[in-house]
Amino acid sequence: MILNTLASLATAIGVFIAAWQISESRKLAGTSFENQLNQEYRELVRHIPVDALIGKTIDDSKDTLRENIYNYLDLCNEQTYLRQKKRISKNRWKDWNDGIKENLSKPAFKEVWDEIKVAAPSAFTALARLEKSDFNIDPSTWS
C-alpha cells in the first residue's frame, strides 16, 4: 500500500516536472523566435539613413531608401500578423507596437506607407488594421 502511494506520488511529481520543462522550452523557443525578428529589424534599419530614423524630412527619394522602408513595413505587417496568431508575447508586442506607431509618424516612413495604401490597399492588411485602430487594439484579440 505504501509502495503504491509512493509510486503514484513519484509519477505525479515526474509528470509535473515534465510539464514544467515543456512550458519552459516553449517560452525559450518563443523568445528565440522574437529575437530573430528583432535581428531582422536591426538589419533593415541599418540601411535606412539616420535622418529618416530620427524623423527629419529627407529630400532624397532614392529607390533604395524606399525599398528599405517598404521592407521595414513588410516586417511590421508580419509582426502584427504574428501577434494576431499569438506567436508574439504581450510584452514584446507592446514594444514593437510603440515602435511601429512612432516610425509610421516619421515623414519618410509615412510617405512610403501612404503610397502603399493607395497603390496596393490589400498589401499589408494586418498593419493597415493596426493603424486603423490607432495602434490601440492588440491584434491577438482580432478574430
What pLDDT does 108 receive? 94
Q: What is the pLDDT of residues 84-122, one digit of tens each?
A: 999 999 999 999 999 999 999 999 999 999 999 999 989
What pLDDT does 24 receive? 72
Q: What is the pLDDT of residues 27-70, one digit of tens each?
A: 766 778 898 999 999 999 999 999 999 998 887 667 888 999 99
CA separation, residue 102 to residues 2, 52, 78, 112, 127 (Å):
64, 12, 17, 15, 13
**Cell numbers given for 109:** 516612413
What pLDDT does 96 receive? 96
> Between these two residues, 4 and 85, which has the higher pLDDT value?
85
**Cell numbers given for 79:** 509582426
pTM for this model (two decimals): 0.80
What pLDDT does 61 receive? 64
Cα separation, 109 vs 9, in Å, equals 60
Q: Which residues contact 121 (CB under 8 A, 6 or more apart)?
A: 128
What pLDDT does 120 receive? 92
What pLDDT does 20 receive? 76
